[in-house]
Amino acid sequence: MSSAAIDGSPRSLADELRGWPDDRLARLLQARPDLAAPIPPDLGVLTARAGVRLSVLRALENVDAFTLALLEGLVVRETTTSYADLADLVGGHDIAAALDRLRHLALVWGEDDALHVVGAVREVLGSHPAGLGRPLAACMARHSDRQLEPVATAVGVDGVTGLVELFADRSRLQLLLDKAGREERKVLETLAAGPPLGQVRDALRVGPVDSPIRWLLAHGLLVAIDNGTVELPREVGLLVRTSPLGDVRPTAPDLETATPRGSDGAAAHAAADVVAKTEGLLEMWSAEPPGVLRAGGLGVRDLKRAAQRIDASEQTAALLIEVAAGAGLVDQSPDFDPLWLPTPAYDGWVGMPTELRWTVLARGWLALPRLPRLVGERGDRDKAAAPLGPDVDWPAAPAERRRVLGVLLDARPGTAATADSVVALLRWRAPRRGGRLRESLPRWTLEEAETLGLTGRGALSSYARDLLTGTDREAARALGALLPDLLDHVLVQPDLTVVAPGPLERDLARELAVVADVESTGGATVYRVSEASVRRALDAGRAASDLHELFRSRSRTPIPQSLTYLVDDVARRHGRLRVGTAASYLRCDDEALLTEVLAAKKASALKLRRLAPTVVTSAMPVGEVLDVLRSLGYAPAAEAADGALLVAAAVPRRTALRPRPPRRTEHVLEEEQAGLAVTALRAGDVAARAARRTPATPASRTSTADTLAFLQDAARERRQVWIGYVDAQGRATSRVVEPRSVEGGFVAAYDYLRGEDRTFAVHRITGVAPVEEGD
């Protein structure tokens, strides 16, 4: 017989779960995935898991504010609560859907006239649910009868029992509250709004009633918890509040929205800018890779240098660095002194169209289990978090980003929502989710989405909608239609600046980056040509004629004479001084120039010594000699052992992407998987309950004809039976099975002991009996 009550109402959560249909059990396993990892062997184990504190914590993360208020109302009532009482607690709102949600999550069980909560719910919600204090009896638990006697006398009752009875009677308690003055009421209303604890000096002191607090303590409306803390009893808080559970909203707050113009265009511009800046950053790291900090991550100086290189804030630079790493475009080398280097995947990424490159970065951000906005924040050790360092890890980040973007996705296309209204909506949907960053995470996500080009002027772009609901190809196609065509020309200005009025073709952008430095970015990119940048191009193997041809063929404006003079002047002086290896040497056909270098005070650190009229040696390495001479305004060039000019072309460096541990995510069962899990649960439950009973008949042998007839009837009626069975090793066992078919001397049946379909030989079956006989 079931342990349920005779009237059919369940006595426990386990009883209730056993009475659920299979599809409802399957939905429970899908709604609370931790209950199915691994699949519990029977419903008893499932019930135990559902009541574990950690499991309840995780279930409550996905409960909205109104549903949570209902749960708090059940906890506030302490004992069982009826449907009508619960509705009164929330101001008469319709609670049917929210209560069904709690029941389907196995957090509440019982009939409408006797609702119960799972025990761990009280522990999770704490001693002050809904911001209310503990009941009077719990508040007074540490006080002796002697300490409470003055309070009982003041309110005109007999002892502690009289106090408890007074507080349980709402009408009598209201009469006591009516005696409180205006100042006393202010104190009560403040604590009733929550939290119910207040700080008071000498709270345990017994003395004259000389303040509102002392009056409330003397009349039991406040209880001293220790010498510095007082608590408002729950009974008083419920009576003082206009609404027992506070401001309860049965529906989600509305979004505050606007419809900005040109949101798609603004987002596309940001997307192209992100791609260009990421390429510029990783090109710099190809030639001059930064080191990895001992504790992991990127140093402060390297972050500042990266921000300066891409003309962005350090916060934006940290975001792009983290996203590039998340997309597999950068990783640390396996050397003894590791460096941050682009991976081989970067070479393939660079060759893609801009729109496809953006989808790679966007996917990397969506799946990034880290919070770039934590960079620079000081943690528990009072140490600032570094980009790519361990302090930025946040496994829940991908799910939180999806939640925020889901709000924008649900809004009408082209609609921008304010950050405050998004935060308020998410807070209502899941008030217990997000931890200490509950308020910050949505704002950070919206800011990062704007920077990366998923949103423009606060509205989710059309191509970002395709990315979230469709494929990368669809998103890239939509973005490509918004991007301007790549330009094959620039505008050279008389002040030695070069203006790129839009995105440039890749070859032109690379050549321009060699001969000029980025001065500003935006709708147009401004480059500046200087003596240092021209010398850099010459060091990279370009001749003066190459530079003249580049500007002549690519500029839509006349070439200013000042630019021509600058290129020719630097080219004329470039390479007159040659630096080679002695430790190092200088040679120059112009003896006067060498004499000038020897006489320069700032060159004394090079320890120069003249060996011949045109040759000088130095004890310093070639690179340092080149740097010092260039800082003095000369244009030296390095040469090889055979006298040939060394071209300073940077060799791109790469590192293999390290294997990454699989990201642990909560696996939600598919519908078919959940159905199979329920079948196994039912089988295990039958076996577990049957194992506690001793079958009478299978122990005694029955005739083969009787056995066959009994099993055929069971297969036809689809019911479980006991069988006694001797296996191939001669071991006798008793087990519960559900016969499917009986033919050819074999029985095909579901074995509840093993949880699988098996075939049993009839001649090995020693006896049969219905399962009910064991009850």
Q: Report which of 339, 276, 335 is spatially closest to residue 302, judged by C-alpha positions.
A: 339
Cα–Cα nearest to 117, from 77, 149, 84: 77
| Residue pLDDT, tens place only, 562-573 | 999 999 998 888
Per-residue DSSP letter, 81: B
Side chain identity, residue 151 = V
Phi, psi of 94 (to 5 degrees): -70, 120
Q: How many CA atoms lie within 13 A of 746 on its CB side?
A: 7
For the chain, domains (ranges, CATH) are 9-126 (1.10.10), 136-240 (no CATH), 259-482 (no CATH), 491-573 (no CATH), 584-648 (no CATH), 671-770 (2.30.30.100)
Using alpha carbons, select from 378, 459, 371, 448 the residue that is nearest to residue 415.
459
Contact 560, 576 (CB under 8 A): no
DSSP 97-139: HHHHHHHHTTSEES-TTSBEE-HHHHHHH-SSGGG----HHHH
Percent of the chain with pLDDT over 90: 36
> Which residues lie closer than 8 Å to 557 by C-beta, 6 or more apart?
491, 492, 493
What's the mean pLDDT in 191-210? Answer: 82
Calpha distance 731→750 (Å, rounded): 20
Contact criterion met (CB below 8 Å) for 171 and 177: no
Contact call for residues 165 and 188 (beta carbons, < 8 A): no
- Residue 774 reports pLDDT greater than 60: no
Q: What is the pLDDT of residue 57?
A: 92
Q: What is the mean pLDDT of the chain?
A: 86
pLDDT value at 127 more than 90: no
Angle formed by the axes of helices 354-366 and 462-469, nearest 10°: 60
**pLDDT tens figures, 725-737:** 888 888 877 778 8
- For residue 699, pLDDT over 50 is answered with no
The arithmetic mean of pLDDT across residues 316-323, rounded, is 96
Mean pLDDT of 219-244: 87
Asked whether the predicted pLDDT for residue 697 surpasses 50, the reply is no
Instruction: Give how far Cα 634 sits from Cα of 562, 630, 688, Å.
Output: 20, 5, 90
132-179 pLDDT, tens digit each: 888 888 888 887 777 788 888 888 888 778 888 888 888 888 888 888
Of residues 468 and 149, more confidence is placed in 468
pTM for this prediction: 0.78
Closest CA to 343 of 356, 325, 359, 355: 325
